[in-house]
Chain A
Amino acid sequence: MKKRKLLRNLTAFAVIAGIVAMSTLTAFADSTTTDSGSGTVTGSVGINGTILPLTISVTHQLNLSYSIDPNSGAITATPISVTNNTKVAVNVTVESLASASGGNIQFQDVMPNAENWPTLDESDSQKYIALGIKIADPTGWNTGYNTATDWAAAKTSTLFGSLPSGATGSLALVSDNGLAFNNTYTANASVVIMVNLV
């Protein structure tokens, strides 16, 4: 009888001891221990970047026309406007400027100093012109733009300047020409504008 009681007590003690031990272990598991020390940890993460090419977008005139009033000697032309829709600045270059066919006369491009313009007779007035292009005014252009005139007869490519994103700049036609026109004439010219990222 005593042995059985002793056995029960031992069993109960063992159970209690087990429960206490488990609860103690659980308590240890919930706590954290921070050890201090020094060392080097290295890691490597691969990053693959894809960079898309920038889209260039420019709005410009498709055609232009000019007229010459020999009574005033002046050339009248629609300014050539260029708007930069690109996210960054772009350079604007006049790749070529030349008199073209299509009118009832076609001029021959010469330099301004090639002729004594006011003295040209009818024939030469309808034959020669010094056609040029330049920046009309500073509006829209970044500082440092080219103020020179690009003459058609020079047949050179001229960088005029850069346009910031969203800006509009304009170019204007200029000319030296004869005055002895005895009728109304039409004459064409072509200009090719080149654009590239700054």
Chain B
Amino acid sequence: MVQSEIKKAGRTSAAMIVVITILSMTALSAALIIVLQANHIINLFGTSTLSTPSISQSSLPVLENTGSAVNGVYKQPAPSTQSTVTITDKLQSSISLTSGAKGSDGTWVCENALKNKVIVQAAVYLNNQIIAESAPMNPGQHIQNIKLLASISPGNYYATVFLNYYDLKTQAFISKSGYRVSLSVA
């Protein structure tokens, strides 16, 4: 009888220990969930979309005094553009040739004004073929003749003169402009 009572008391104690253990684990789990929820590690209720790593209190950013910001809304400055350079072209509207033979000289005046800061060289085109080219002109120089690079039949034509501009120092090509002139070959 005594032995059975002792066994019964032992079973009761074991059951109580199990119950206490379960309750303790439940309490610990609840506490852990609360902590993780607070740190956005888990999202049980679907209200937060953030998921950041757990940060300990000691690694939170500290506001540093690294300078001062500017008051007001940022206004984009106008984009800077290169300074433009102007050039004045001066050329006769007609080229006259006493012969259409290759190598002959035509009468034609073209100037590179002194204020121009480029080298100018004229190239004459007829039907998209270059037929004549001037000597290079530095600022303040001009030409009075132009040499034929190809043979042309006698007649009156319209030709295109391209004035090619080159850098004074590097002699690199910069740009060009075009002029339509008359071309007479005797």
For residue B158, which residue of chain A has the nearest CB? A196
- The reply on B85 being an interface residue by CB < 8 A is yes
Residues in B72-109 with C-beta less than 8 Å from chain A: 76, 78-82, 84-94, 96, 109
Q: How far is the CA of A54 from the CA of B182 in the complex (A)?
A: 11
Chain A-chain B contacts (Cβ-Cβ < 8 Å), number: 97
Interface assignment of B118: CB less than 8 Å from any CB of chain A: yes
The residue in chain B whose Cβ has the minimal distance to the Cβ of A193 is B177
B11 touches A (CB below 8 Å): no
Provide the main secondary structure of the chain A interface.
Answer: strand
- Mark contacts of A80-98 with chain B using CB atoms, 8 A cut-off: 1 yes-contact digit, 0 otherwise: 0100010000000001000
Interface-lining segment among A38-46, A68-76, A111-119: A68-76
- Find chain A residues with CB under 8 A from B94 CB: 53
CA A66 to CA B80, docked complex, whole Å = 9
Q: In the complex the two chains form, is A53's CB within 8 Å of B93's CB?
A: yes
Q: Bound state CA distance, A85 and B87, in angstroms?
A: 12
Categorize the interface residue count of chain A: 20 to 34
Of the candidates B87, B92, B96, B178, the one whose C-beta lies within 8 Å of that of A62 is B87
Q: List 18 A-B contacts (CB under 8 A).
A: A53-B92, A53-B94, A53-B96, A55-B91, A56-B93, A56-B179, A56-B181, A57-B90, A59-B89, A61-B85, A62-B175, A64-B82, A65-B82, A68-B79, A76-B78, A95-B178, A192-B175, A194-B179
Given A57-B91, A63-B85, 18 other A-B residues pairs in contact with their CB atoms under 8 A: A53-B94, A56-B89, A56-B179, A57-B89, A60-B89, A61-B87, A62-B85, A62-B175, A64-B82, A65-B84, A69-B79, A78-B81, A78-B82, A85-B88, A192-B176, A194-B177, A195-B177, A197-B93
Contact surface of A with B, Cβ cutoff 8 Å: 53-69, 71-72, 76-78, 81, 85, 95, 190, 192-197
